[in-house]
Structure 1
Amino acid sequence: MLRITKITDYGFILLSHMANQEKNLLHNAKDLSAAIGIPLPTVSKVLKILTQGGILKSHQGSKGGYSLSRPAKDITAASIIEAVEGPVAITDCSSAEGCERNCPVSPSWQQVNSAVINTLQGLTLADMSNS
């Protein structure tokens, strides 16, 4: 079974919440944790990962917080997953280079992986959050 991690799932939940709020509103970890019901340490971890991945911007200062780095319509599901988990690859064989075995199955997995990536690239945060 293919699954994204719980951290990635939480990332989608946090980003969807942020996308549905006022455009210029800054969000802090404590308020997000309370609003969504995800423990504060986990929210802080996810926000840090999404900032490092370029999905969020961090604003320093006493009135600081986090904001989307670009409009929700310009953030794809693929970019969110890649920010948290790295490149989308359903198997080791699905990378462009294939796996070390270089068996005849690898091109088929590459085709499947491409379809998954294309679907994720076509799905935006705005689509997912109805914003």
Structure 2
Amino acid sequence: MRLSSMADYAIVLMSAAARHCGSASLVGSDCKGPTRISATQLAEETQLPLPTAQKLVSLLSKGGLLSSTRGTGGGIRLARPASAISLADIVEAVEGPIALTACLSENAQDCAIQADCHIRPHSAAVNGAVRGALKNISLSSLSAPEPAQKVSA
């Protein structure tokens, strides 16, 4: 399984937004409250093209992960604390529901081997395990500074 470029970029963009505190400060951060940032600033910080950042902000806002306010004092921030946003939430906001195989997607087409498929009955369990793994990774953990490397003598 490989994430699409847009899902990958969404994770990078959300991580940058979280570093600017979103709606709650990160564990170990000295940020004291919500800080808004513009799509232009996010694009510059993440080195994503501005149109891509704007499209992602739109998708992530529709997915309930970002909140944007226009005008003076406006900008973008997380819609909820980074600890309450999972990797699965981000991927699904951009890609739709996680479905490892076509027969599990909402728009499933007729499969040529559906009548003889011995895997389909197990696909939901596999899909659930992958989604569960992504659900267990919070945005706050992705946005935290890297742990210090141990230096061996």
TM-score under structure 2 length normalisation: 0.77
Of residues 25, 37, 41, the one that matches 1:27 is 37
What is residue 129 of structure 1 aligned with on the other side? 143
Displacement of 1:21: 1.9
Displacement of 1:129: 1.4
- SS, match of residue 68 in structure 2: strand
What is residue 132 of structure 2 aligned with on the other side? 118
What is residue 7 of structure 2 aligned with on the other side? 8
1:12-54, CA deviations, whole angstroms, 9 ceiling, x for partnerless residues?
Answer: 1111111112441111111111122111111111111100111
Moved more, 77-86 or 105-114: 105-114
What is residue 66 of structure 1 aligned with on the other side? 76
2:20 touches 2:36 (CA, 8 Å); kept in 1? no
Structure 2 CA distance, aligned partners of 1:93 and 1:111? 13
- Identity, in percent, stands at 36
- SS, match of residue 66 in structure 1: strand
Displacement of 1:87: 0.3
What is residue 81 of structure 1 aligned with on the other side? 91
4+ residue runs over 6 A deviation: none
2:100 touches 2:127 (CA, 8 Å); kept in 1? yes
Structure 2 CA distance, aligned partners of 1:34 and 1:99? 40
**Counterpart AA for 2:98:** V
**Counterpart AA for 2:125:** Q
Unpaired runs of at least 5, structure 1? none
Hey, which of these two has a bigger chunk of helix by percent?
A: 1
Q: Does 1:17 align with 2:27?
A: no
1:34-88, CA deviations, whole angstroms, 9 ceiling, x for partnerless residues?
Answer: 1221111111111111001111011121331111000000001111111110000
Q: 1:107 to 1:40 in 2, by over 3 A?
A: same
Q: Indicate the structure (1 or 2) with the bigger Cα radius of gyration.
A: 2
Structure 1 CA distance, aligned partners of 2:72 and 2:92? 31
**Counterpart AA for 1:112:** V
Moved more, 82-91 or 103-112: 103-112
